[in-house]
């Protein structure tokens, strides 16, 4: 089946959505739109992660009951996505009853299969990370992530026999180079596995310490560890194991996360799936951090960028474009408003915006506002068309591989070539000479390449792409357009089509 299924992390409700969350969800949305244009039945899902100590503490700090607190923040995430023009097919909360049922069924299955045992454990527990640290892992006695002293806790708990899965998981990652991408994260996971330190995973918390969680089906004195609960949301969101949604989408499942949660996705999750008798996901895609002034953006550090402020100030699509263009998927990137404005002016106002306004105003002036008919290519057009097809083929291959920045760079190679072509073909001279045939060829070639450009930009800038289509006299219909043919042929734009009066698409920002 030609399906595509992508998940974002389900975000913790201990803090308000910020640029980091917006980036992952916008990437998921752009990728899903791209796959739809490639002809696939493509969806992405998102949601909120609501159980565990971290959320209880945030609710206490806010002076609210934890359930009510989670509902409010979860609703904030849910309301944000349409405002960023991202369209998840499902929004899952880990407090949803169907999700709880799935987690309990899954725990029951793994327990019955003998992969869960009861044992004593002591260690340094960091509430921020929701995990135990060994002496060796601490840095100067502090949690390496949060730089706080963990509590030393000793208690009886349930453990998942994760260590027994080390061998096949290592083999699976070795044999399937695509399983974890980009390569550096695959290497990181293999290095971790090769060091042979895969422990069993503590998957319970005694209710004496934490009640805000899903009760273990085989011991009502305990709730489930938040990660064992959260990861299963990827399956409950599509209806649970065996459902129609599961049959349709799970075989193509891909995950999208930042590097902070590489280990749970690369190690906990595949071993959980194997233990529960569920086929593994296909691919884990890992991106880097957005930094502000060289440090990771996070609520505790107080250097948050609010996505809606940026969208309101510079336009949503310009913001989406910036995020995908600026970050090389896999590496960290710096966020600054100066950087955003510079890109907006250079790429959007100058390169793309100028191309549209120059060409459209010439069509309006020289061709009575209708798409002219082409009449035979010269070497100039042949070279331009070769370049266009090459750029579009590159764009498609790179975008499909999550290399968004390079994909857009490739598309801009075309945009810049089109601007150069305007200069060298000089339609104004042809108009003055009364060479209607050549003028028709030049302007038609430009309009057709602009249509292709707009179409390829739709995943990243949906509203602007639709505006561009309107400017070209067309109505954008995502479900009827397929990208593959666009890198092979020209001429889908019909001559004679009347165009509306040109408007400025990307005004400069000062």
The residues that touch ligand ME8, with contacts defined as CB under 6 A, are 9-12, 20-21, 23-24, 49, 230-231, 257-258, 260-261, 289-290, 296-297
Which of 146, 149, 156, 433 is flagged as catalytic?
146
124 forms beta bridges with: 133, 152
Place of tokens 């399906």: 3
Contacts of 5 (CB under 8 A, 6+ apart): 42, 43, 44, 45, 238, 249, 250, 252, 253, 254
Q: Are 433 and 474 in contact (CB under 8 A)?
A: no
Say whether 143 is catalytic: yes
Edge-to-edge strands of the sheet including 201-202? 131-133, 116-126, 151-160, 201-202
| Closer Cβ to ligand ME8, 132 or 227, answer by number | 227
Q: Distance between CA 51 and CA 207 in Å, rounded? A: 13
Say whether 432 is catalytic: no
Say whether 449 is catalytic: no
At its nearest, how many Å lie between ligand ME8 and the CB of residue 230? 4
Which of 143, 367, 391, 449 is flagged as catalytic?
143
At its nearest, how many Å lie between ligand ME8 and the CB of residue 85? 18
At its nearest, how many Å lie between ligand ME8 and the CB of residue 192? 18
| Closer Cβ to ligand ME8, 256 or 360, answer by number | 256
Q: Are 212 and 205 in contact (CB under 8 A)?
A: no
Which of 99, 100, 111, 126 is flagged as catalytic?
126
406 vs 395, 397, 399, 409, 412, CA distance in Å? 8, 10, 8, 5, 10
Maximum Cα–Cα distance across the chain = 90
Say whether 21 is catalytic: yes
| Closer Cβ to ligand ME8, 335 or 506, answer by number | 335
| Closer Cβ to ligand ME8, 324 or 505, answer by number | 324
Which of 207, 299, 328, 385 is flagged as catalytic?
299
Which of 16, 108, 129, 263 is flagged as catalytic?
129
Burial of 134 (0-12, 13-18, 19+ CB in 10 A): exposed
Q: Are 39 and 484 in contact (CB under 8 A)?
A: yes
| Shortest-Cβ-distance residue relative to ligand ME8 | 20
| Closer Cβ to ligand ME8, 56 or 442, answer by number | 56
Sheet strands (E) in 329-440: 333-334
Three-state SS at 200 = coil
At its nearest, how many Å lie between ligand ME8 and the CB of residue 11? 4
Say whether 129 is catalytic: yes
Strands 90-93 and 41-49 turn out to be: parallel
Say whether 126 is catalytic: yes
191 forms beta bridges with: none
At its nearest, how many Å lie between ligand ME8 and the CB of residue 295? 9
Say whether 224 is catalytic: no
Q: Distance between CA 40 and CA 32 in Å, rounded? A: 9
Q: How many CB atoms lie within 10 A of CB 433?
A: 10
Which of 21, 265, 287, 464 is flagged as catalytic?
21
Q: Are 462 and 424 in contact (CB under 8 A)?
A: no
At its nearest, how many Å lie between ligand ME8 and the CB of residue 231? 5
At its nearest, how many Å lie between ligand ME8 and the CB of residue 297? 4
| Closer Cβ to ligand ME8, 330 or 369, answer by number | 330
Place of tokens 């529960």: 276
Backbone φ and ψ for 64, nearest 5 degrees, come out as -125, 160
At its nearest, how many Å lie between ligand ME8 and the CB of residue 486? 31
Which of 108, 259, 263, 296 is flagged as catalytic?
296
Place of tokens 């502000």: 292
Say whether 367 is catalytic: no
354: Cα within 13 Å, side-chain hemisphere: 17
7 forms beta bridges with: 45, 255
| Closer Cβ to ligand ME8, 67 or 496, answer by number | 67
| Closer Cβ to ligand ME8, 230 or 425, answer by number | 230
Question: Where in the sequence numbering do the catalytic residues fall?
Answer: 18, 21, 126, 129, 143, 146, 296, 299
């Amino acid at each position: 089946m030609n399906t595509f299924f992508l998940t974002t992390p389900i975000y913790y409700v201990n803090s308000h959505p910020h640029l980091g969350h917006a980036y992952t969800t916008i990437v998921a949305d752009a990728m899903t739109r791209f796959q739809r244009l490639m002809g696939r039945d493509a969806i992405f899902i998102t949601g909120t992660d609501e159980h565990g100590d971290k959320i209880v503490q945030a609710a206490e700090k806010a002076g609210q009951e934890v359930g009510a607190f989670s509902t409010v923040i979860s609703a904030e995430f849910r309301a944000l996505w349409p405002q960023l023009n991202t369209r998840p097919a499902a929004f899952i909360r880990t407090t949803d009853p169907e999700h709880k049922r799935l987690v309990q069924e899954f725990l029951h299955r793994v327990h019955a299969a003998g992969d869960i045992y009861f044992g004593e454990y002591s260690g340094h527990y960091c509430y921020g990370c929701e995990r135990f640290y060994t002496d060796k892992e601490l840095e100067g006695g502090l949690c390496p992530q949060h730089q706080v002293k963990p509590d030393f806790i000793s208690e009886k708990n349930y453990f998942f026999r994760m260590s027994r899965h080390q061998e096949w998981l290592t083999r699976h990652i070795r044999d399937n180079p695509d399983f974890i991408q980009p390569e550096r994260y695959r290497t990181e996971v293999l290095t971790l596995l090769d060091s042979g330190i895969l422990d069993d995973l503590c998957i319970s918390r005694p209710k004496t310490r934490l009640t805000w969680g899903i009760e273990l089906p085989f011991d009502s004195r305990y709730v489930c560890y938040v990660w064992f609960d959260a990861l299963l949301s990827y399956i409950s969101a599509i209806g649970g194991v065996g459902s129609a949604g599961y049959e349709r989408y799970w075989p193509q499942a891909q995950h999208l996360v930042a590097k902070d949660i590489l280990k749970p996705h690369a190690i906990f999750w595949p071993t959980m799936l194997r233990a529960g008798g569920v086929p593994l996901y296909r691919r884990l895609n890992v991106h880097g951090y957005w930094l502000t002034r060289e440090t990771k953006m996070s609520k505790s550090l107080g250097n948050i960028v609010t996505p809606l402020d940026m969208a309101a100030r510079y336009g949503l699509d310009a913001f989406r474009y910036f995020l995908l263009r600026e970050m090389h998927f896999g590496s960290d990137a710096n966020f600054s408003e100066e950087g955003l404005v510079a890109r907006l002016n250079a790429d959007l106002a100058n390169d793309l915006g100028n191309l549209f306004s120059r060409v459209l105003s010439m069509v309006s002036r020289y061709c009575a506002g209708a798409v002219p008919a082409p009449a035979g290519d010269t070497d100039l057009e042949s070279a331009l068309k070769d370049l266009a097809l090459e750029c579009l083929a590159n764009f498609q291959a790179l975008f499909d591989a999550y290399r968004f920045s390079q994909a857009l760079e490739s598309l801009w190679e075309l945009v810049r070539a089109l601007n150069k072509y305007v200069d060298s073909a000089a339609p104004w001279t042809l108009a003055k000479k009364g060479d209607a045939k050549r003028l028709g060829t030049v302007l038609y070639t430009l309009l057709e390449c602009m249509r292709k450009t707009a179409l390829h930009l739709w995943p990243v800038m949906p509203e602007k792409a639709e505006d561009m289509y309107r400017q070209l006299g067309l109505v954008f219909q995502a479900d009827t357009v397929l990208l593959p043919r666009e890198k092979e042929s020209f001429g889908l734009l019909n001559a004679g089509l009347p165009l509306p009066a040109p408007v400025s698409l990307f005004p400069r920002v000062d």
